[in-house]
Structure 1
Amino acid sequence: MVEAAEFVASAVLTGIGATVVMDIWGMVRKRLLGIPSLDYALVGRWLGHLVSARLRHDRIAASPQVVGERVIGWTAHYLIGIGFAGVLLAIFGLDWARQPTIAPALMVGIGSVAAPFLVMQPAMGAGIAASRTPHPWAARLQSLVTHTVFGIGLYAAGWLAHPFLNS
């Protein structure tokens, strides 16, 4: 039971921390490069439409708004970050949380790019790996960089969290 609580606490702290790092990267990227971050209200809109069994949209931005979509989207964004931290711990174990290393964090962070490439982008009308966007390779590169930053965030958050979890 103690290990289960440690697993959950590690996943929550590491996932939230890594997602914050990713969001900070999004703000820096927008300020320095003029590249906007994903509008998480659109993620909330997509999730809201799942209730009526609508999985795919031609263009999510053109789909009807959903009440509370911004809150739904941001909540989902952080829960997904926690989920990927859980994947990291499920694969590499609590030993990783007790002594974080960069390689597993990067593997999970970079591997997490499969979620937008294969699920979110196709479902929201952008095609597999952003193939239906005006500049697919630029979108792919931005996704890859962002998910690499998420991996770095997993590592950094793991290091920041581990003293609190191991006391």
Structure 2
Amino acid sequence: MFIVLKTVLTGIGATLVMDVWSGCQKHFLRIPPLNYALVGRWILSLPGGKFYHHTINSTPRMRGELMTGWVFHYLTGIVFAFIPLLLKGAVWFSEPSLSAGLLAGVVTLFAPFMILQPALGFGIAASRTPRPWLARLLSLLTHMAYGFGLYVAAFAIAE
């Protein structure tokens, strides 16, 4: 059970690092990060049977979408924090490695490229966005920041 708590803490820490990166991206590069209200709108549309949106921007706003999106974002970060544990086993928490963290960050790109972006109407790997390669690069950098955050958080709680 202790390993689950460590993984949860690592996931929260890594997601925080990811959010700091997104804030820097917004402030220094003037590129807005993902609006988690859109993710919340998608989540809140699921019980009504709507998985795919032509574009999520054309779907009417829903009450609680911003909070839902942020909660989902952190829950996803926690779930993805199990990836380096699966890659390295329990040794991950006594000997965290940057390579395992970054590899986990790259592996997590599957979710936005193949699930979230198509579901929001942005196409596979953002293919229906105005600048798909920029969107892909930003997703990669954001998920690498998450992977770096996995390493930093695991290192911070290492035994």
TM interval, shorter chain, is over 0.9
4+ long deviations beyond 4 Å: none
- Does structure 2 retain, via aligned residues, the 8 Å contact 1:7–1:89? no
Unmatched tracts of structure 2, length 5 or more: none
What residue in structure 2 maps to residue 104 of structure 1?
100
Unmatched tracts of structure 1, length 5 or more: none
Question: Is the aligned partner of 1:147 residue 2:130?
Answer: no
User: Distance between the aligned counterparts of 1:49 and 1:9, measured in 2?
Assistant: 31
What residue in structure 2 maps to residue 114 of structure 1?
110
- TM-superposed deviation, 1:114: 1.1
What residue in structure 1 maps to residue 66 of structure 2?
70
Q: TM-score, normalised by structure 1?
A: 0.92
Question: Is the aligned partner of 1:45 residue 2:41?
Answer: yes
Provide Cα deviations, 1:45-79, integer angstroms capped at 9, x if missing partner.
00000011100001101102222111110000000
- TM-superposed deviation, 1:91: 2.8
Letter in 1 for 2:36: Y
- TM-superposed deviation, 1:7: 2.0
User: Distance between the aligned counterparts of 2:39 and 2:153, measured in 1?
Assistant: 24
Q: TM-score, normalised by structure 2?
A: 0.97
Q: How many residues align?
A: 159
2:87 aligned residue (66, 84, 91): 91
Aligned to 1:51, what secondary structure does the other structure show? helix
User: Distance between the aligned counterparts of 1:92 and 1:68, measured in 2?
Assistant: 38
Question: Is the aligned partner of 1:17 residue 2:29?
Answer: no
Aligned to 2:13, what secondary structure does the other structure show? helix
Q: Percent identity?
A: 47
User: Distance between the aligned counterparts of 2:121 and 2:76, measured in 1?
Assistant: 20
Question: Is the aligned partner of 1:157 residue 2:157?
Answer: no
User: Distance between the aligned counterparts of 1:52 and 1:97, measured in 2?
Assistant: 40
